[in-house]
Amino acid sequence: MSHQISVMVHTPAHSGIGGALTYESGTAHTAGTLVRVPLGSRELLGVVWGGAAPHADSGETAPMQLRAIASVLEGLTPLNAHWRQLVQFAASYYQRSAGEVALAALPSQLRDLSAEQWARRLKRKPKVVAAYEGATQTIPTPTEEQAQVLADIATHKGPFLLFGNTGSGKTEVYLRAAQAVLEHNPQAQILVMVPEINLTPQLEERFRARFCPQWGADCLVSMHSSLTPAQRLKNWLAAHSGEARIVLGTRMAVFASMPHLQLIVVDEEHDPSYKQQEGARYSARDLAIYRGQLEGAKVILGSATPSLESWHHSRPATTSEPAGRYMRLAMPSRVGQGALPLVRRVDMNRQPYKTVFSNHLLDAMRERVTRGEQILVLLNRRGYAPVLNCNDCGWKSECPHCSAFRVFHKLDRTLRCHHCGFTQPVPRACPSCGNLDISPLGRGTEQLEEHLAELLADVRRPDGEPIRIARIDADSTRLKGELERQLAEVHAGAVDVLVGTQMIAKGHDFRRVTLVAALNTDGALFSSDFRAPERLFSLLMQAAGRAGRDATMNLVSPCEMWVQSHHPQHPLFEALKQHDYPAFAEQQLKERAQATLPPFSFQALVRAEARSQEAAQGFLNAAREAGAALADELMVDLYPAVPMTIQRVANIERAQMLIECTSRKALQHFLAHWQADLHALRNAHRQVIRWAVDVDPLAI
């Protein structure tokens, strides 16, 4: 007797195959079993999704001939029901196929290994795990605030929003909460998520020092895109088997197979990096909340500047509205008497034209360096200059393939597009008129590093040595291990002034930094993106938090943050000066409520890409017409198609259409039924290369 089994394979959203495929098998297989199945001329990894239905051969002609599964990956425990339910929910909510989400969540090497290769891998003798030889960590006594927060986490269900100022000891709360879970349950597993890879080594080191001496060197594994395929498979298997007690990773880790998950920590929960921007555009933070509910695991979201959505969901009850779904826990004080930096605002309207650093700021920087203190300079734009310009004819370094400018990089004398990667040597003369005098417009971190070296050339360190300036951005840390090396130099005190992009503003514990300077901050104040002020305030608050983390550095003079702006009296800077996130959040939420913007409404974007803007917009407007009747019935607003902010990338035109509704349920209902229209329209709009639905978009 053979069995019909449902198998989920990787089928892209555009294929029109959204569910599981049916195969034949001589034996029944438990749901969650990994199998290899034929699809067309290929053989793919699949996950058994449904129960097996036995059927006997009646001798009559079968209505269709089912293909048999090729092989089973033996020795692997089936993926459990909670994991499959998480995948099913993510696929449904974010409008993708379940197979695409399920298979993308598995290590690439597992997808590629044949049954024979997998069998050979199983026969390998496991390596003997060496004893942990790292430095033992002195466990600090928790502060009163930390103790209260930990007591609340222990006695309440959550989810929790841990609102703690930079330097308040949120990481120590994570460590102690994890320790309590591990000591209570001998099998418990913990998922700790960070927004970016560059934060992982630092946090991993602290977790290893705390847990490896007691639970073994193999109790913790990491998951992020910098791992090799072999490392990722090894770590995934350790988590799947329950051998790894703690998984530390970026957004992809939310789909890690962890059968005994009991605690999820999402550090810096406000960070946009938790939102996937390709394929299934899921929010790992939001899926962490869902997974916690699904598996009965506690969830801690931590941030000094929470997202406005999380802040709204953790609101206390009032006479006019009930309390939010999250429990808000506050830690306003810094550990060890460290003080938050004094925020100074510089009115650039009173500075000479084209001033980069005001004289008062330069004097403050000189004073700090001569005392052996460190400085961070934040400019969120890499390269030497954003544009190269000809003053005679007006030529600018536009990218021929994108509707954007190529950035001038002086170190290798190139013009590089940060969107498509197109790179050319800097021309000797203007390509348009032949003028030899072409000059850079604007500033990037490269130019800032060079300019500071000139301005501070006469400054000496306490030992009489010249000042040392370093730069950390996506260009300077491109090589493997370079970021870790540069951060180690900063921590060791070998760098006096660190220039960088937002990479230096997040999560790093620089003990000797006493001054932070933020340049060119005004662009986000009047952006068309309603989330721009939230992102700017978060970035500046996080950057300010790098200063004054060591209380002894405040003994000579207070630590400072300098913000240069042409609008120093803007309410955002007023709230920043007071380190008053609640006031900023209240003002922003009031504006959003008046405009019915998230979190008071729910949005989705449909993006289309084609060889011409007309084709992309034509597809979206046709989709708008097809869904108009249902949208009216459900009170869903469909806006006309418009070009994206950067409408052409790599010679592909891009357009988008916004969908908005005050009911999440109605929006989801509309999107689910509208999918059939989108697939049907694809046949009539052959010029469209691809389209995608982005639910809860972060950038419009």
The binding site comprises 390, 393, 399, 402, 417, 420, 430, 433
Let me know: does 216 contact 289? Beta carbons within 8 Å.
Answer: no
Strand partners, 193: 249, 266
SS3 per residue for 222-249: EECCCCCHHHHHHHHHHHHHCCCCEEEE
Report, in this order, helix, strand and coil percent for the chain, each rounded to 5: 35, 25, 40
Sign of the Cα pseudo-torsion (139, 145, 146, 148, in order): positive
- In angstroms, the CA 412 to CA 421 distance is 15
Residue where the block lists tokens 């970021």: 483
Pair of tokens at residue 40:
């067309």
What phi and psi, each to the nearest 5 degrees, are found at residue 219?
Answer: -80, -15
Helix (H, G, I), strand (E, B) or coil at 647: strand
Q: Specify the length of the chain in residues.
A: 700
Residues 6+ apart with CB under 8 A from 465: none
Q: Which residues are annotated as a binding site for Zn(2+)?
A: 390, 393, 399, 402, 417, 420, 430, 433
Q: Compute how many other C-beta atoms are within 10 angstroms of the C-beta atom of residue 360.
A: 12
Would you state the torsion angle of the CA atoms of residues 34, 36, 37, 43, taken in this order, to the nearest 10 degrees?
Answer: 140
Residue 660 exposed, middle or buried by CB count within 10 Å (0-12, 13-18, 19+): middle
- In angstroms, the CA 365 to CA 367 distance is 5
Crossing angle of helices 532-544/581-595, nearest 10°?
A: 170
- In angstroms, the CA 429 to CA 70 distance is 62
Strand partners, 329: 162
Let me know: does 448 contact 475? Beta carbons within 8 Å.
Answer: no
Would you state the torsion angle of the CA atoms of residues 274, 195, 236, 262, taken in this order, to the nearest 10 degrees?
Answer: -80
User: Cα 136 to the chain's mean position, in Å?
Assistant: 31
**Radius of gyration over every alpha carbon of the chain, rounded to an integer in angstroms:** 27
